[in-house]
Structure 1
């Protein structure tokens, strides 16, 4: 039987880090509430009081003010969300780097609720790689090409190329509506609206960003376009935010294509700082509501189980979905359509090398037909290439 999800049994884990610059001078409880999204204020207050959260190895009060060089530690019972049970393919090994084709739904490196279900951990435990240094990072739902260095020296070489914009990147995406034909450039600055939500918006005080888009095909039946994106800079969510600002968000982007949160215009043309503050509040409230729903469903399951036992029906019933160790209610498995986003890192190229991954099914026909048409326009023989690694 084919198992479509990779699941990890809950386990104990000690999260430990030096205090980040943006944490300094703030109360410990405020940092946990604003930076971490998997538990609520009540949980964090109890964890601090019980000594499961410590500063420099010592138990402190929830109102402790974080200082420079503080070491923040949290002992947690971790419940990792399941991810797609797809192989993390190493498609090429060359000159101290490996080229990986990352599946959608799998995060790159351990963070938040993920550790074992990450690209780096899977490559380490299942393929034997021990020293891995990602050159580029992709969002969890984004698929495609990753360059991972096998040494610090090689990683620094690529990092310098990235900083000098010597690496050309190409992504393909499926967006809402009829994207303008030809080339469209977006140079809107982006800033972080919420670290906890990993939410970014276009704002005048943001960091400089540039993305060049080119429409490959428009499908009037579905009113969607396949677009090639060439990010010049490398800000978090840059392609997704720029497409939203242009009024053509990725069709299944759970964060930047949500009119219930963003309103009728869905962020097209940008929003004010006041609207951004309200947006963050809505998204945080939505997260809390989902947590409350999980708790209610688990409680309902527990009550149903108790009623069945009381009636002595002898029939099987669903077990209560509360963790017996940390009392965390379990979450439903993600539906297939929520494990993917129509954004794929396709090509990375520098002066002396070029790497390419296979295209996903939703983009393949559009890209190949565009390539064939371009060759015909130039008077060349029409050649529809097979998916390959170059």
Structure 2
């Protein structure tokens, strides 16, 4: 299916699993474990050690006494969260960043924040240390030209630790940079943020694509936390982070206890994650495991790459993939990351030759060429330079969307601040076909999380499938007759072709209708097994649960699609857990 670099020692097994043939193994007693598992265990051990120390501190001293003991006066919000210290005076008191008033409008699919004045304050980041101030502004805040920043600095609008700066000022560790700016936030998608569950400590949401999680770079009020703050009237803090373009499950803490409990589970790898992606081409059948270290090549454009584990900042990474369906152009793939690196799923998919089909970074033909960076074969310096032009002179493109007239610098200027304005983005460039579908706890006896206190033991959350993951199924679900208490309809499909179907009255059945449909196909086709990669479409889940033939041929069935009037959460009981990963709900479209 695909050729892999021999020098890296990879191959495809008969079962379709990608693995490292030269990966060293370490013996522990009578058991051998891989180098990846050794690194992962060390990471988990360190996380649990930190958790244990934190729990001990909590038992010995409450937060207020600890602050008093250290002689630190810390500002907290009404929920007890520490406020970010962005300004310190000589007497040690700290002040929080004050947000200005702002206006929001909805224009089509976009959420627009009208320009506003904002005093931007930030401490020196590690990558800014010992660099000239002007260089930092030009390379890190690329929405403005160098001439704009020169003018601001020369006119005294930029301060370093309350002192007026100049263009040659060197920024050091600990410096506070202050800059008053007329801010133009880029638009984001106006999709509502759906709340999946809420209790006293945690808020679980379905994050829309195209919205950053928290204020960052050019974004502030067009971020998930600020949008929710405006909606709910209080601040929430992210426990897990998704890329701006990624949609799906997010956990936000309402209290410090909620932040600690959920954060501890994530750090200790006590949470299983499942994502859904839509990728280029026909993804191989079976389970595909990619175990390649990753590192960030250029943080300014969020470019990441597969690397050798011995390279600086390399992090061990592992993702398991499985194909769900293929529509003739693209495949829907289930992705299970065992680690949580930046762009891990996106880079691993690109590396094996199946990038996300609308990925503006990793499936952009104009940047990577026809091979789309498969096997990591690319001049990354050139790739980085091309990505720096995106949003300036070139708009975002991808393998699927090659002719987008998206966001670029226009010839218009703001009459207030004279900055060059950008055209509005196309909604398609604010969407990535990667969705955090399901998160579940996997607590064990060694867990340091106090599950009784937080009530999170054996929790599991999932969202509906995003519409882009259901498009290939709708032509078949629309052929299904509407389900009633009496009527039942199902289809057996393979590679876009209906092999068999049944339409019956449930009360007249003597045998399971799905079993009858499968056996009818096998008899007419003269076969004794279903072809690999079949999909079953059904108007009810009950025959699926009781079907003996589904259980018999489940390795050859990649998906079981149930048409419902609306999304209903988990459809099957615990006794049918073997079907859990195969069930896809396709709710009827609301017209």
TM-score between both structures, scaled by the size of structure 2:
0.57
Structure 1 CA distance for aligned equivalents of residues 263 and 191 of structure 2:
28
CA–CA separation in structure 2 for the residues paired with 1:331 and 1:217 = 38
Distance 2:198 2:270 in 1: 21
The alpha carbon displacement at 1:282 in A equals: 2.1
Instruction: Quote the residue 2:253 is aligned against.
Output: 149
Would you say 1:126 and 2:228 are equivalent positions?
A: no
Task: Tell me the equivalent position of 1:215.
Answer: 323
- The 3 A distance-change label for structure 1 pair 322 and 25 is closer
2:482 corresponding residue in structure 1: none
- Distance in 2 between residues matched to 1:246 and 1:290, nearest whole Å: 27
Paired residues for 1:348-387 under 5 Å: 348-351=439-442, 352-364=458-470, 377-378=550-551, 384=562, 386=564, 387=567
- Equivalent residue of 2:354, what SS? coil
Could you say which residue in structure 2 is the equivalent of 1:388? 568
**Is the CA contact 2:144–2:420 (under 8 Å) kept in the aligned structure 1?**
no
Structure 1 residues 242-291: Cα deviation after superposition (integer angstroms, max 9, x where no partner): 1111111111111111121122321110146xx21122122224444249
- Kept after mapping to 1: 8 A contact 2:391/2:408: no
Task: Check whether the contact 1:347–1:357 (CA below 8 A) recurs between aligned residues.
Answer: yes
> Aligned partners of 1:56 and 1:194: how far apart in 2?
28
Deviation at 1:366, TM superposition (A): 6.7
Structure 1 CA distance, aligned partners of 2:472 and 2:460?
22
Q: CA deviation at 1:62?
A: 1.9
Higher RCO structure, 1 or 2 (CA under 8 Å, sep 6+): 1
Size of the aligned set, in residue pairs, is: 361
366 and 164 in structure 1: CA distance in 2 versus 1, 3 angstrom threshold: farther
Supply the distance in 2 between the matched residues of 1:111 and 1:22 (Cα, whole angstroms): 16
Q: CA deviation at 1:326?
A: 1.2
CA shift digits 1:267-324 (9 cap, x unpaired): 110146xx21122122224444249x956x43xxxxxxxxxxxxxxxxxxxxxx4211
| 2:419 aligned partner | 328
**What's the CA shift string for 1:139-193, capped at 9, x where partnerless?**
2221111111112232122222112211111110100011111111111111111
What stretches of structure 1 of length at least 5 have no aligned partner?
Answer: 299-320
Q: Which residue of 2 aligns with 1:338?
A: 429
Distance 1:166 1:385, change over 3 A: farther
* 2:243 paired residue number: 139
Question: Quick one: which of 184, 195, 199 aligns to 2:303?
Answer: 199
Rounded Cα–Cα distance in structure 1 between residues aligned with 2:132 and 2:125:
13
Between the aligned partners of 1:96 and 1:187, the Cα distance in structure 2 is: 35
Residues 183 and 95 from structure 1, CA distance in 2 versus in 1: closer, same or farther, beyond 3 angstroms? farther
Q: Is the 8 A contact 1:37 1:197 kept in 2?
A: no
1:356 and 1:388 in contact (8 A); partners too:
no
Deviation at 1:370, TM superposition (A): 5.6
Instruction: Provide the rounded CA distance (Å) in 2 between the counterparts of 1:225 and 1:133.
Output: 34
Which residue is equivalent to 2:191?
Answer: 86
Q: CA deviation at 1:371?
A: 8.2
Q: Secondary structure at the match of 1:378?
A: helix
SS at match of 1:269: helix
TM-score normalized by the length of structure 1: 0.85
Structure 1 residue 58: Cα displacement = 1.2
Deviation at 1:329, TM superposition (A): 3.0
SS at match of 2:469: helix
Which of 373, 396, 401 is residue 267 of structure 1 equivalent to?
A: 373
Residues 190, 202 of structure 1: 8 Å contact kept: yes
